[in-house]
Amino acid sequence: MLDKKNKILIIGLGLMGGSYARAFTEKGYFVGAIEKKESSLAYALEKGFIQEGQSEPKADLIGKYDILIFALYPHIFTEWVKQYQHLIPKGRLLTDVTGVKGAIAEDLQALLREDLEYIGAHPMAGREASGIENANTEMFRGANYIVTPTEKNTQEAIDTCIEIGKTLGFSTVSVLSPEKHDEMIGFLSQLTHCIAVSLMDCKDAEHLARYTGDSFRDLTRIAKINDEMWSELFLLNKKALLAQMDLFSEQFAKMRDAIAEDDQESLREMMRLSTERRTFFDKKTNR
């Protein structure tokens, strides 16, 4: 289980790593960091988000820590483990913040030392802005945290990871298989970003602002997107995401047909269903 004596090492001080560091420090944990970018490291030290930090992975620093949390781009994360896992003492717990799980779990399990344990986790929080300068712990409130164990994980690791989510301040902590997670995230998060980007790409924005209502604003808020990170996540979750995109296209085509055929009753039926489901969703999320 998680304990205040556990020292926590954050690898990667971007928006998420920075926010994690800040949250753990506020809760009284000893937090260190490894971050290539000297300015981010300096910022975290100056703001008191971390107690210590280095720009290169070294055994003496890493050796002090009980839990290693990776807040890196997926391909950098697996590369890091491949290159530096020999610096980690045996028995330590590794976890992450990566937005896809199946592909990562497979890769990591294939290369991770037998005496280390990795357990996946996905904090479903974010901001349009990136970088440690935007780090904040507010975004965890009301948000969901998903732990994605495989059959290789111990119950102790699962429990610790659940505690991490709660300690960070997430409102809901769930446990899902990596496959279920990827399907869920493909639908709820990746598909919605695909839609927002596609919609924003349809037309030049020059003249839209003057005539817009809230709808377009709401639907394109997430079209402001970190292209490097999201394109990587999309491709890592390709199979699940394509299935969700096709599911949406099918519904959208059904609506198009109803309009083309002046089939008002089918249109209304689709709208009544969406209204009913969204009303139910509101109740469930207390919004």
Taking CB under 8 A as the criterion, which residues in 82-141 touch a copy of itself?
124-126
Q: Which amino acid is at 256?
A: R
Cβ nearer to a copy of itself, comparing 1 with 260: 260
Q: Which residue has the tokens 């089939």?
A: 263
- Angle of helix 192-201 relative to helix 238-260, nearest 10 degrees? 60
Cβ atoms of 157 and 93 within 8 Å: the answer is: yes
* Residue 271 token pair: 């709208």
Q: Which of 57, 116, 130, 230 binds a copy of itself (CB under 8 A)?
A: 230
Name the token pair of 91: 């028995």
For 152, phi and psi rounded to 5 degrees? Answer: -80, -15
C-alpha to C-alpha distance for 279 and 176, rounded to whole angstroms: 25
Asked if residue 220 binds a copy of itself (CB under 8 A), the reply is yes
| Interacting span for a copy of itself (CB under 8 A) from 44-52, 65-73, 110-118, 265-273 | 265-273
Q: Which residues contact 219 (CB under 8 A, 6 or more apart)?
A: 195, 196, 199
d(CA 191, CA 242): 9
Number of amino acids touching a copy of itself (CB under 8 A): 90
**CB of residue 64 to a copy of itself, shortest distance in Å:** 34
Q: Does 174 bind a copy of itself (CB under 8 A)?
A: yes
Exactly one of 73, 92, 176, 178 binds a copy of itself (CB under 8 A); that residue is 176
Residue 55 in contact with a copy of itself, rule: CB under 8 A: no
Phi, psi of 240 (to 5 degrees): -65, -40
Binding part of the chain for a copy of itself, among 51-59, 113-121, 156-164, 172-180 by CB under 8 A, reads 172-180
Q: Which stretch binds a copy of itself (CB under 8 A): 2-10, 51-59, 62-70, 245-253?
A: 245-253
Instruction: Choose between 59 and 271: whose C-beta lies nearer to a copy of itself.
Output: 271
Question: Based on CB atoms, which residue is closest to a copy of itself, 23 or 44?
Answer: 23
Report the sign of the C-alpha dihedral through residues 158, 163, 169, 172, in that order. positive
Single-letter code of the amino acid located at 231? S
Check binding of 278 to a copy of itself (CB under 8 A): yes
Residue 150 as a binder of a copy of itself (CB under 8 A): the answer is no
255 binds a copy of itself (CB under 8 A): yes
Piece in contact with a copy of itself (CB under 8 A), picked from 25-33, 43-51, 150-158, 263-271 = 263-271
Amino acid at site 229 = M
Residue 188 interacts with a copy of itself (CB under 8 A): yes or no: yes
